[in-house]
Amino acid sequence: MTSTTNQRIAIIGGVAAGASAATRARRIDPHAEITIFEKGPAVSFANCGLPYHLGGEIADRNKLLVATPELFWNRFRIRVRTLQEVVSIDRDSKSLAVKDNADPTRTFTQFAYDKLILAMGAEPVLPPFALKPAANVFQLWTLPDMDGILKRIKETKVQRALVVGAGFVGIEVVEQLHRIGIRVDLVERSPTILNRLDPIFANMACNALRKESIHPINSQSVMEFQRDQDRVTAAVLSDGQTIPTDLVILGIGVRPRTKLAIEAGLSVGDSGGLLVNEFMQTSDPDIYAAGDLVEYTHQITQAKTLNPLAGPANRAGRIAGEHAASGKSEAMGGVLGTSIVRVFETTVSMTGLNEKYLQQHKLAYRTAIVQATNHASYFPGATGMQLKVLYEAPSGRILGAQAVGGEGVDKRIDVLATAMTLGGTVFDLAKIDLAYAPPYGSAKDPIHMVAFTAINDLKNQPRLLAPDVNLEGYQVVDVRTAKERLELPLEGAIAIPIDELPSNASQLDPTKPTVVVCHSGKRAHVGACRLQASGFDRVFNLTGGMSIRSQIP
């Protein structure tokens, strides 16, 4: 039998953070009494996989059940109490008041703890226009949400759906509904989809939707729903247009589920997340918190930030479980918001800071953009990608990165996130020894190429200009072919193909600030170096070239 002196660790919430905390605590302390309280029917499910079951890409619903109460008990001797909702925390007596959601007529029970871990996560935001329930309006956050959507699709033969919010979940839902033949409208109040991306890269992601005849309605908000009895028939947007629909799925963001913690007197930060230290302890050292309800420290800025992603939640849960069980653990470390999403055939990823943040906080930065292939271009099946790095001058410290393309995008964003976590610079990137064989990469990997490009910029060999720069006042030299210039015209440029530049440089004024332009920036670099060596005072390369400039939304 279990000794009454064994430590009692209570965990509120399962899924990522709670389940990780529980199993780590068990591995550290084989004798602790560990109990998970979960107000829903499933303690550990793959919430990131929910959209993919909607479209049948994950066919078996049971695959979404990561761990069951039976598994927790049989393998770890961890008790799981599903449909048990903790409604209050008494910090003085170290006890929880628990409501039985399976039998609401039962009175609250009390549960004593020595250490408590909060892992309630976040909850989807419900906008004002959706406060009144409707039979065909859903959010996608839990298994019952998913089941309700599928039931509605099957029973009412949905032909047209409206997705509100073009974040990760919204994009995934659009893709999956389209996959099963439903016409989808996507509304986003920001000017671009996936608004953590810089506008040009967001427009590339948007193009992936347009290829599938999905045309996002950006810079518009849903103002109200039109209804027929208990269902929504249309949405009225801020510009007055009306979007008919059979089904509405809301994906406009989440907020930390902190009500229980606030009522217990725990401290909350400026961003609305629960304050924790590096060991995930709250303002009460016997209460820990992990996952989407807490504030994390940003790796680059050291500012406190919300970061509702599964990876940090798992890591934070592990640290909370270890420290609760033993009083010691490694520190949590910072987060970068490293994210990735599939938009049909295109992969979109990002890490660290974007230009909007850097500009708002008046932080100086430089950018370098390259276009490359995932492996050697001569090997069959090579797919293209666009890779952008933001960095400090003159240190070269990497501040952020974004990538859009086909295969291999995930590898490159992970390499960049790793370098950033270690405080790396573009000079460090240039030295990384990456695996190479024609089916897998190139001798000069896209990582190396963007590093070399940034280093050239920092060393004025030559400097780079952002692709959306106003070219007025520059002497613009277009070194592309006649066909390329016809496909993507650049008004006011002086056309001199790259191989003709050495013999025609005398046509140019060496005293004027000069920007050299090509399709991707590679030939422009060669041309700019030639002009610089010929005595031109101020020479620049338009990073990413005209193919990137043409993506300005």
Task: Point out the residues that are catalytic.
Answer: 48
Contact call for residues 353 and 437 (beta carbons, < 8 A): no
DSSP-based three-state secondary structure for 97: strand
Distance between the two ends of the chain, CA-based, in angstroms? 67
- Reported in sequence order, the residue ranges of 155-264 that DSSP labels E, i.e. its strands, are 160-164, 183-188, 217-218, 222-228, 231-237, 242-244, 247-250, 254-256
What's the rounded Cα separation, in Å, for the pair 236 and 511?
Answer: 56
Query: Which DSSP state fits 298?
Result: B
Count of other CB atoms within 10 angstroms of residue 242: 11
Of 530, 548, 366, whose CA–CA distance to 463 is shortest?
366
Query: At a CB cut-off of 8 Å and minimum separation 6, what does 522 contact?
Result: 545
The Cα–Cα gap between 294 and 122 comes to 9
Question: Which residue blocks in 124-187 are alpha helix, DSSP H?
Answer: 143-156, 168-179
Strands 475-478 and 494-495: parallel
Task: Say if residue 427 is exposed, middle or buried (CB neighbours under 10 Å; 0-12, 13-18, 19+).
Answer: middle
161 token code pair: 């759906």
Number of helices and strands in the chain (H, E) = 16, 32
Q: Is the peptide bond before 513 cis (omega within 30 degrees of 0)?
A: no
Tell me 102's DSSP state. T
Angle of helix 199-210 relative to helix 168-179, nearest 10 degrees, comes to 10
Nearest to 120 by CA among 40, 18, 21: 18
